[in-house]
């Protein structure tokens, strides 16, 4: 039973940049709960006033 989701296993626990607006950058972090279920945390990092992302990446 080859499932596509299993191919993505190495990315789990990694923080992935998903989207950005002129206000924030959205990141996704996947983790495994103690009973084996999946949980995904989404965070939104504000964009610095000079147009650069607060994480240092230039989104322009």
Q: Which residues bind another protein (CB under 8 A)?
A: 3-5, 18-19, 21, 23-24, 26, 28, 33-35, 37-44
Q: How far is the CB of 45 from another protein (least distance, A)?
A: 10
Q: How far is the CB of 52 from another protein (least distance, A)?
A: 18
Looking at beta carbons only, is 19 or 48 nearer to another protein?
19
Q: What is the 3-state secondary structure (H, E, C) of the chain?
A: CCCHHHHCHHHCCCEEEEEECCCEEEEEEEEECCCCCEEEEEEEEEECCCCEECCCCECC
């Amino acid at each position: 039973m080859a499932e596509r989701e299993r191919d993505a296993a190495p990315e789990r626990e990694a923080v992935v940049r998903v989207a950005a607006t002129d206000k924030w950058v959205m990141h996704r972090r996947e983790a495994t709960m103690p009973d084996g279920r999946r949980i995904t945390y989404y965070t939104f990092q504000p964009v610095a006033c000079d147009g650069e992302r607060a994480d240092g990446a230039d989104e322009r």
